[in-house]
């Protein structure tokens, strides 16, 4: 089997920080995969989100499905300033307690809007709840994605990712 995932960059936090940015992303891959093992310093769970190319305008939307084991719920955000990667379950207080992945499709195409699919899970109920989440998000821009900022917030307030949180970006090679 041919190797198709190529590691582009990994960041492991040596201190707490509110965002992690991958910049100067080459356009040589078909898609990108972002894998996040992170925790928050906030006393409640927080939300993970992406911003592309520094765009803080209301050019993002997302539709989310999530389940807690006892409930199935959904949500939608339109015309927001970032692409959400999950609700409360995306980040908890313990690194390794949750994992979030995002598949950013056709990121270097300059004729289409950009879409990403993300999945999050949290095995522990140390905060709000445990569960799983699937999200589809859209960035309404045709520019090739050359930078990705990963953010951590709740209720419009930015919070820090905890020391030890790890973020890895992979490129998918054409078959």
- Does 1 score more than 60 pLDDT? no
- Does 48 score more than 70 pLDDT? yes
In this predicted model, what pLDDT tens digit does every residue of 116-168 receive, in sequence order? 999 987 666 555 557 788 999 999 999 999 999 999 877 778 888 888 999 99
Which of 161, 150, 149, 159 is closest to 13 using CA atoms?
161
CATH class of the structural domain 5-172? mainly beta
Chain CA centroid to CA 38, Å: 11
Looking at residue 2, what is its pLDDT?
54
What is d(CA 97, CA 90) in angstroms, rounded to the nearest whole number?
10
What is d(CA 104, CA 122) in angstroms, rounded to the nearest whole number?
22
Contact 89, 66 (CB under 8 A): yes
Handedness of CA 34, 35, 37, 43 (dihedral sign): positive
Contact 114, 107 (CB under 8 A): yes
In this predicted model, what pLDDT tens digit does every residue of 51-103 receive, in sequence order? 999 999 999 999 988 887 788 888 888 988 888 776 444 455 566 667 889 99
Handedness of CA 38, 42, 47, 51 (dihedral sign): negative
Looking at residue 90, what is its pLDDT?
47
Q: Which residues pair with 20 in a beta bridge?
A: 150
Looking at residue 89, what is its pLDDT?
43
Q: Give the residue-averaged pLDDT of 20-43.
A: 90
- Does 44 score more than 80 pLDDT? no
Q: Is 166 exposed, middle or buried (0-12, 13-18, 19+ CB in 10 A)?
A: middle
pLDDT band at residue 28 under the 50/70/90 scheme: very high
- Between 64 and 3, residue with greater pLDDT: 64
């Amino acid at each position: 089997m041919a190797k198709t995932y190529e590691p582009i960059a990994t960041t492991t936090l040596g201190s707490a920080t509110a965002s992690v940015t991958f910049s100067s992303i080459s356009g040589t891959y078909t898609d990108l995969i972002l894998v996040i093992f992170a925790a928050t310093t906030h006393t409640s769970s927080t939300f993970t989100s992406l911003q592309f190319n520094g765009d803080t305008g209301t050019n993002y939307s997302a539709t989310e499905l999530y389940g807690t084991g006892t409930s199935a719920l959904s949500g939608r955000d339109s015309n927001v300033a970032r692409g959400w990667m999950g609700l409360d379950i995306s980040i908890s207080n313990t690194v390794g307690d949750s994992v979030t992945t995002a598949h950013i499709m056709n990121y270097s195409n300059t004729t289409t809007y950009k879409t990403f699919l993300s999945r999050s899970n949290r095995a522990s109920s140390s905060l709000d709840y445990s569960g799983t989440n699937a999200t589809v998000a859209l960035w309404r821009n045709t520019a090739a994605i050359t930078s990705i900022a990963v953010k951590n917030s709740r209720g419009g307030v930015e919070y820090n990712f905890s020391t030890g949180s790890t973020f890895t970006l992979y490129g998918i090679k054409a078959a």
